[in-house]
Amino acid sequence: MRLLIGLTTYGYGAAMATILAQITVREGHEERFEQLASMLFEATHEHETGVERYEYWRGQEPQLYYALLAFVDYRAFLSHQTSEHHETVTAELNEVIASMKLEWVDPLAAASPLGPTNAQTIDDESSELERRYDAAMAPTIASWWEDLRG
């Protein structure tokens, strides 16, 4: 079930949900992680309409990766997290990932085509899986962003 809501706009772009993930992969599992990331990249871009950016990079340190995930809104992010293609690989990702730090980020209006990250709530019709993801990953909006947004 796709959960998209209307977009709230500011002077420079639509409300969005953007995450930067820092991922450390277990030693010896880099190749499998890259296969899984590639599968997710393809499926996400093929099946989801609410995704703006979904990309992976290798970091400088061994076993270190980054991912940028940007969705039209938080509900599109939850739809991604609970999608069949994401749920299919979650168990295997948990086996190859040693740690992951997720950070909600706010694009600079004059230096990014993405809109600001904004908090949104889920509704009563949300699934139990969506509620679990919401409890674990709800957007954290830094108060200092507001003054700089203009």
Per-domain boundaries in the chain: 9-149
Q: Average pLDDT for residues 31-53, to the nearest whole number?
A: 96
The answer to whether the beta carbons of residues 4 and 50 sit under 8 Å apart is yes
Query: How much is the pLDDT for 59?
Result: 98
Helix-helix angle 30-47:84-96, to 10 degrees? 170
Q: For the domain with range 9-149, which CATH number is right: 3.20.20.70, 3.30.70.100, 3.40.50.1440, 3.40.50.2000?
A: 3.30.70.100
Query: How much is the pLDDT for 15?
Result: 63
- What is the pLDDT confidence band of residue 9, given thresholds at 50, 70 and 90? very low
- Taking only the tens place, the pLDDT of each residue in 48-70 is 999 999 999 999 999 999 999 99
Is the pLDDT reported for residue 111 higher than 60? yes
Tokens read off for 140: 């954290």
- The partner residues of 22 in beta bridges, in order of sequence, read 66, 101
The count of residues in the chain is: 150
